[in-house]
Amino acid sequence: MKKSKILYAASTASHLRRFHKPYIEALSDDATVLTMANGEGVDLCVPFAKSFFSLSNFKCVFQIRKILKRERFDRVILNTSLTAFLVRAAMLGMRNRPYVLNVVHGYLFPKEGKGVKNRFLLICEKLMRRVTDDIAVMNDEDLSIASKYRLCRGKVFMTHGMGIPDAPFCADGADRVREEFGVGSDELLLLFVGELSRRKNQGFLISCMARLRQKGHPVKLLLLGEGSEREVLEAQISELGLDGQVFLAGNREPVAPYLAAADLYVSASFSEGLPFNVMEAMDAGLPILASDTKGQYDLLSAYEGCLYPLYHENDFCEALLPLIESHSYGAGSRRYPSLAKYRLSAVFDDNMKILTKGSNENETGN
């Protein structure tokens, strides 16, 4: 019997390695799976540009269309907003196209869809409905968006993400990290892990650092990740006189030693799906202060003091001070029992049903 053929796509090779490796391996037992992304280690390398509006992405659409016609996939599994849009755009007008599942890691527009950019992105999703069979979402707001605007032809599935590893958190390497960045025993290290982008909103955290330092609080901020906003953030750090207090450390793997070294985890992101970085901080048992936005709300709403209003510097600083003054911080100082439902072992079987043929038990609407 001939094996079915699956395309498993995302914007970057690192995204596939970090979040989807167990699923790609499991699917490969019964099907031929080809991976598509920008980067090394994938079967089909496509040079996706980060911006929706990059002219080079139009070339990618034609490249993808040729690949689809050549390979004749039976099933296409899409991840990340940009890649999901470009691959589906390549399918428009195709005869005998494959089945398409869009795994939504966070729509980049709010439920109301207000504003020119938000409306444009919503219109793009509506246009792609005709080549989207089913959707899997990871938070309540995206479930509402997909259902309200009927963004697929079939079912909308609710998942608890792709799963955080079951292995116990390893706290090795904390002393080395604190020494590298000159964090004294009387100083607190705040940490955020994520691409340097407007959506992740690191500039807000840097502004808050200036306020906290001015009030005499001995805090430092470590930002892990790379991205298009590096130069902007470097200029902001210099302008606020925070050199040696705020660090742009680039991509670092593994992340565990940095979580172990941190005293507090902070996030100012204004849009998420189900943020893996926050789940990693929960796994490390760190106190967390995150913006009250979708995805982060889904993870942290049950825990008092973990959320603050988006863009409100005063609220951020006021919420942080009790954490600082409590002297109860650092890895292992908090417990998050709800994290159990997001473990790989808890989500794997249901996710595999969706990735292979769907599951009526997980159907939520449409």
In this structure, are residues 70 and 41 in contact, taking their beta carbons and an 8 Å threshold? no
Same-fold call for 4-163+344-365 versus 174-342 = yes
Element (H, E) at 23: helix 21-27
> What is the pLDDT, as a whole number, of residue 328?
83
> What is the pLDDT, as a whole number, of residue 235?
98
Q: pLDDT for 56-77, tens place per residue?
A: 898 999 999 999 999 999 999 9
- Delimit the domains of the chain by residue range: 4-163+344-365, 174-342
Three-state SS at 232: helix
CA-based R_g, the chain, Å: 21
Looking at this protein, which amino acid is placed at residue 246? V
For the chain, which residues score pLDDT lower than 50?
A: 359-366
Residues 6+ apart with CB under 8 A from 176: 257, 261
> What is the pLDDT, as a whole number, of residue 83?
96
Terminal-to-terminal C-alpha distance of the chain: 34
> What is the pLDDT, as a whole number, of residue 55?
85
Q: pLDDT for 163-182, tens place per residue?
A: 999 999 999 999 999 999 99
Burial of 1 (0-12, 13-18, 19+ CB in 10 A): exposed
Superfamily of chain region 4-163+344-365 = Glycogen Phosphorylase B; (3.40.50.2000)
> What is the pLDDT, as a whole number, of residue 27?
98
CATH code reported for the domain at 174-342: 3.40.50.2000
Residues 6+ apart with CB under 8 A from 318: none
> What is the pLDDT, as a whole number, of residue 42?
98
